[in-house]
Amino acid sequence: MCGIVGIIGTEPVAMRLYEALKRLEYRGYDSAGIAFLEEGRFKRLRAAGKLNNLLARIQETPSQATIGIGHTRWATHGAPTEENAHPHIAGSVAIVHNGIIENFQVLKAQLEEAGVTVKSDTDTEIVAHLIDQRLKAGEAPQEAVRSVLKMLEGAFAFVIMFEGEDDLLIAARRGSPLAIGHGDGEMFLGSDAIALAPFTSRVTYLEDGDMAVVRRDRLDVFDEAGRQVVRPLSFTQASALLVDKGGHRHFMAKEIAEQPDVIGHTLAEYVNFHEGRVTLPDMPVDLSAIDRITITACGTAHYAGMVAKYWIERLARLPVEVDVASEFRYREAPLKEGGLSLVISQSGETADTLAALRYCKEKGQVVAAVVNVPESTIARESDVILRTYAGPEIGVASTKAFTCQLAVLAAFAIHLARMRGCMDADEEKRLVKTLSEVPRLVVTALKQDAHIDTVAQKIAHARDILYLGRGINYPIALEGALKLKEISYIHAEGYAAGELKHGPIALIDENVPVVVIAPRDKLFDKTVSNMQEVAARGARIVLITDEEGARAHGAEAFETIAVPAADPFVSPILYAIPVQLLAYHAAVFLGTDVDQPRNLAKSVTVE
Ligand code: M6R
């Protein structure tokens, strides 16, 4: 899951490549590189670490070259060193690659047997050598790429440049996304339309199996069978403006703070507050006739799906199966033709979620996607888009996208309940009113920021932290633990509070803080009992509850965080806020890279 770009233009290309890569940094940031053609010969600049290191190299190497390719990497094969950074060059071929070549070991062995010296540990360099061999054997660039594509197994997108070919880039995709932007006498290639936005809004998306031959004033696309095809031109709304931190220290802080606005915006798309009704787009499926829903997603989006299960099963009396997409895609789950599947994804590019979507479609399911990026592959391949209006989420830790997913899913659950005759108009009105209060309640929850900062500092030195939740807030315990571990590197686990005594309670001692998520709902007393069980074993409790809950049980806790009292229906949205802030402040206190934590990438486009 790297970001790739290519430009074949009329202006000096190096800084333009950098600008496009900057916008793709969410896909990986452990090393980066560009290559361009200067007087027909390759020149390559690469650097380990963040893109800024590459920028320094670009600035000290003035160039008038107008054709080039670039890459920002999330390592799959080989350490994130300069030698392994892309572009990879073999003879007269330079290549940038996103994805994984699964049979690269076999291909590498064949190359080495033929006397080729492979310099990096990457799968990508092998592809450059294979194409170069074909060129040396007399094939034209297009033919050479086509022959090599046939040899490759895996999911990938490539942009390839050839020495001596100043008006040619060849691109190909199988599994990984690739967009081609049309300028005036210029062409731009990128992993997504956001990368191309500073240059053009006219974009062609390649389809799976496509190979594109790109020249300054011409684009020729060929499908997997080698037939020339026309892919539609669309106009992207991706903004040319690079999102900034808006005065916050980190993107994550900005994105946490934006939640009242973006949740409100998202709700406004699906809820008619005036009439007290939910208004969802039409779906090509009879919601009153389906007998279950399958939800697949990864990471935080999967936890949003788990919350949706509680909402849908209780309100719409419809069984819901939720699975992580990486398991679901290989599980061969039986799915009834004409049924409904839901996929949830911020980026819309997560490889496992996309594969799950395709599996569901193959089985004849109607697929609805809760997705934040409307130009994404998942959005384009779904039958119905339930878009979240979180705006660009830059911090690797998902925050506002999660609460916006919950907002959409809450509206969806109400809609389903109405369609299935499980809810009357009065109850719909009541729940819509509850939803309308969420942005205001989130504002109040955010006011705990300074207090949560002090709590975070008190627990940040722990080696392990447990999160407990029950019922609809069990997924929030999982989300709290994920958020903490991914940005602070503290080991954290979320548990269903009632499950603790079946094993994990053995972990408890005075060194293990336990974060207890306990809204005053019908399970409150049970959660409090679980809290008392761990407190009795010496655990330091951080109790997250409302003011009444804090008055009743705050004394038993080491620290209490109060969330505004609200209808239990919306508690997962509200209780997401303190767990985000707790993770954020712990990470800031520990001095980790909050927005770009180690080993992660914003968009996981490999399985
Ligand atoms: O873009 P997606 O929502 O499909 O991404 C899914 C996960 O990779 C993502 O939620 C990940 O778990 C986040 N880093 C969590 O904060």
326-369 pLDDT, tens digit each: 999 889 999 999 999 999 999 999 999 999 999 999 999 999 99
pLDDT at site 157: 93
User: Which CATH code fits 248-436?
Assistant: 3.40.50.10490
Burial of 278: CB neighbours in 10 Å, binned 0-12, 13-18, 19+: buried
The secondary structure of 106-138 as a DSSP string is HHHHHHHHTTPPP-SS-SHHHHHHHHHHHHHTT
Q: Judging by DSSP bridges, how do beta strands 202-205 and 179-182 pair with one another? A: antiparallel
Most confident range (mean pLDDT) of 167-171, 268-272, 439-443, 557-561 is 167-171
Give the residue among 523, 529, 532 at the shortest CA–CA distance from 568.
523
472 Cα to the center of ligand 1, angstroms = 20
Of the candidates 603, 560, 578, 245, the residue with the CA atom closest to the CA atom of residue 399: 578
pLDDT digits (tens, 9 = 90+) for 278-303: 999 999 999 999 999 999 999 999 99
Kindly indicate the confidence band of residue 247, based on its pLDDT and cuts at 50, 70 and 90.
confident
**What secondary structure letter does DSSP report for 569?**
G
CA of 206 to the centre of ligand 1 (A): 24
Q: Evaluate: CB of 252 within 6 angstroms of ligand 1.
A: no
Atom of ligand 1 nearest to the CA of 602: 14
**pLDDT at residue 230 in the model:** 96
On the question of pLDDT at 237 being above 90, the answer is no
Please give the C-alpha separations between residue 589 and each of 449, 455, 456, 489, in angstroms, as whole numbers.
14, 11, 8, 12
Marked catalytic residue, from 22, 254, 483, 602: 602
On average, the pLDDT of the chain sits at 93
Report how far residue 184's alpha carbon sits from residue 313's, in angstroms, rounded to the nearest whole number: 53
Residue whose CA is at the smallest distance from ligand 1 atom 7: 299
Is 602 labeled as catalytic in the residue annotation?
A: yes
Residue 161's closest CA among 186, 175, 141?
141
CATH architecture for the domain at 441-607: 3-Layer(aba) Sandwich (3.40)
Q: What is the CATH number of domain 3-235?
A: 3.60.20.10
Residue nearest to atom 16 of ligand 1 (CA): 397
Q: Does residue 299's CB lie within 6 angstroms of at least one atom of ligand 1?
A: yes
**pLDDT single digits (tens) 452-478:** 999 999 999 999 999 999 999 999 999
pLDDT, residue 243, reads: 67
- Of 17 and 153, the structure prediction assigns the larger pLDDT to 17
pLDDT score, position 9: 97
For the question of residue 2 being annotated catalytic, the response is: yes
Distance 300 CA to ligand 1 centre (A): 5
Structure tokens belonging to residue 87: 């572009």
Q: Is 353 in the pocket of ligand 1 (CB under 6 A)?
A: yes
Q: Do domains 3-235 and 248-436 have the same CATH topology?
A: no
pLDDT tens sequence across 175-228: 778 999 999 999 999 998 888 989 999 999 898 899 999 999 999 999 999 999
* pLDDT band with cut points at 50, 70 and 90 for residue 238: low
396: Cβ below 6 Å to ligand 1?
yes
* Predicted confidence (pLDDT) at residue 554 exceeds the cutoff of 90: no
pLDDT for the residue numbered 26 = 78
Closest atom, ligand 1, to C-alpha of 300: 10
300 within ligand 1 shell (Cβ under 6 A):
yes
Secondary structure class of 416 (helix, strand, coil): helix
Would you kindly state where each structural domain of the chain is located, as residue ranges? 3-235, 248-436, 441-607
Q: Which two tokens stand for residue 140?
A: 């034209």
Ligand 1 touching residue 345 (CB < 6 A): yes
Which of 476, 461, 485, 493 lies closest to 599 in space, CA to CA?
485
Catalytic residue among 2, 298, 360, 404: 2
Question: Sign of the C-alpha dihedral, residues 111, 116, 120, 124?
Answer: negative
Burial of 425: CB neighbours in 10 Å, binned 0-12, 13-18, 19+:
exposed
Round to whole Å and give the CA distance between 160 and 171: 6
Closest CA to 393 of 191, 177, 237, 595: 595
Nearest 5°: phi and psi at 262?
Answer: -75, -30
For ligand 1, whether the C-beta of 603 sits within 6 Å is yes
In angstroms, the CA 119 to CA 162 distance is 19
Distance 340 CA to ligand 1 centre (A): 22
The percentage of the chain sitting over the pLDDT mark of 90, rounded to a whole number, equals 77
- Please give the pLDDT value at position 530: 87
Return the residue whose CA atom lies nearest to atom 4 of ligand 1. 345
Judged against a pLDDT cut of 90, whether residue 446 lies above it is answered with yes
* CB-ligand 1 contact for 486 (6 Å cutoff): yes
